[in-house]
Amino acid sequence: MSRRLVIGIVLTVLLVGGGMYTGFRYFMRGSPLAVTPTHTDPGGELPSQTEFDALAKTDPVKMLSACLTRYEREVQGGGRFTFEMQERVKGSPKHPEPPSVQVIDVCVRGDVPNRDTKQTATEVVMKWRSGAKRPAGLSIAAEITGSLFSEKPVPDGFGGKVVMWQREKRFGSPVSDPMDANSTPAQGQSRYCIRDAGLYRTLLRTHTAWGARQEANEFKFEYLGLKKVEKAGDRECHVIRRICPRTELDAFELGGTASTDPDVVAKEGFTEVVLYIDRERWLQVGSELYRTEPDGTKVTLGTYFFRDVDLKPTFPDDTFTVAGLKK
């Protein structure tokens, strides 16, 4: 083989490899995260338990506002919980195949606006106990078993980004390059953004969506009573079912804009939401999304349950770092 041919091959490899790397990095980028909706503390005393129970039956939007107000007043140090979910992402897996069950240990801090600055500095770490899957579009052979997000500048250099980690290294680095929280790979992992993983932002998302429907005179609900919910750790919950006026689709990010593409809505949209509110702690500890097809088939799109909730956790110093993610 001539020296000129060897040089040509090397240059071609470098050009192609560089193009692939540039394309991959572009693939990891998203747009700036959406501005989070705000909730205003109305002041005064919280409802009594009797009043709260009545709101669950008569005005769930006002009930959710009371939940947010109590959380904002009582929880400033973050939370730790076990999260169990099943969901169809971008229509996969196709019905009637059931989605896999994912069980995740989650720590969240900084998601409640600071009382003085009114700003957030959200940090989230998620570690899969079971059900971890390989992220779509990423050239990582092993299942991703940990994800880390931080809005704060951090020593690891991923401030404002997501880092994924595989417990069993198959090839290359076990830690992914930092990616935007709304990048294509991130949206291929879940219906919802990692920034919104905590209990507070879960309540805020529901309150925002249900409040908008109420303002538009499109809010239709049914109170289903009190129930002990096994997946929420046998907590006694108010169960409320919202019937959507049409097929709806949540935005990936809280505060973002949902797709209006008819094909996307038909594949990912829902027509019914069932909410589980912990009667004692005023937390949204469960939600279920369903779609009823034209032929009457009821498709489960997502189920999300929180249990073992600790709202006064003590976090080790390395919790929200790559080193802590690997533990």
Q: How far apart are CA 282 and CA 65, in angstroms?
A: 10
Closest listed residue to residue 295, CA positions, set 42, 157, 95, 32? 95
**Which tens digits make up the pLDDT trace of 238-269?**
999 999 999 999 999 999 999 999 999 999 99
Q: What is the pTM of this model?
A: 0.88
Domains and CATH numbers, the chain: 45-325 (2.50.20.10)
- Cα dihedral: 222, 223, 229, 231 (round 10): 30
The answer for residues whose C-beta is within 8 angstroms of residue 274's C-beta and 6 or more apart is 224, 239, 240, 241, 242, 286, 287, 288, 290
Q: How far apart are CA 213 and CA 279, in angstroms?
A: 24
Whether 13 shows a pLDDT value over 60: the answer reads no
- In the structure, what pLDDT confidence band is assigned to residue 11 with cuts at 50, 70 and 90? very low
Compute the C-alpha angle 100/106/108, nearest 5°: 140
**Which tens digits make up the pLDDT trace of 78-123?**
999 999 999 999 999 999 999 999 999 999 999 999 888 888 999 9
Note whether 305 and 229 are within 8 A (CB).
Answer: yes
**Which tens digits make up the pLDDT trace of 120-141?**
999 999 999 999 876 555 545 5
Whole-number pLDDT of residue 145: 86
- In the structure, what pLDDT confidence band is assigned to residue 155 with cuts at 50, 70 and 90? low
Closest listed residue to residue 112, CA positions, set 101, 121, 102, 104? 121
Whole-number pLDDT of residue 21: 35
Using a 10 angstrom Cβ sphere, with 0-12 exposed, 13-18 middle and 19 or more buried, the burial of residue 165 is buried
Q: How far apart are CA 2 and CA 288, in angstroms?
A: 65
